[in-house]
Amino acid sequence: MSELSAEAKELLRRPIPAWVTTVRPDGSLHGTIVWVDLDGEDVYFNTAIGRAKEKQLRQDARVSVSLLNPEDPFHWVSVSGSARLDTEGADADIDALAKKYLGVDSYPGRQPGEQRVTVRITPDHVLYSGGQ
Write the DSSP assignment of 10-21 as a string of letters. Answer: HHHHSS--EEEE
Q: What's the pTM value of the predicted model, to 2 decimals?
A: 0.94
State yes or no: pLDDT of 12 exceeds 80: yes
What's the order of all strands across the beta sheet hosting 62-68? 29-34, 18-23, 62-68, 75-86, 116-130, 42-48, 37-39
State yes or no: pLDDT of 1 exceeds 80: no
Architecture category of domain 6-130 in CATH: Roll (2.30)
Percent residues over pLDDT 90 in the chain? 96
Residues 41-60: what's their mean pLDDT? 97
Residue burial 62-74, b: 16+ Cβ < 10 Å; e: rest: ebbbbbbbeeeee
User: For 105-115, how does the pLDDT look when each residue is reduced to its tens digit (9 = 90+)?
Assistant: 999 999 999 99
Instruction: Let me know: does 94 contact 110? Beta carbons within 8 Å.
Output: yes
Instruction: Let me know: does 125 contact 53? Beta carbons within 8 Å.
Output: no
State yes or no: pLDDT of 131 exceeds 80: no
User: For 68-126, how does the pLDDT look when each residue is reduced to its tens digit (9 = 90+)?
Assistant: 999 999 999 999 999 999 999 999 999 999 999 999 999 999 999 999 999 999 999 99
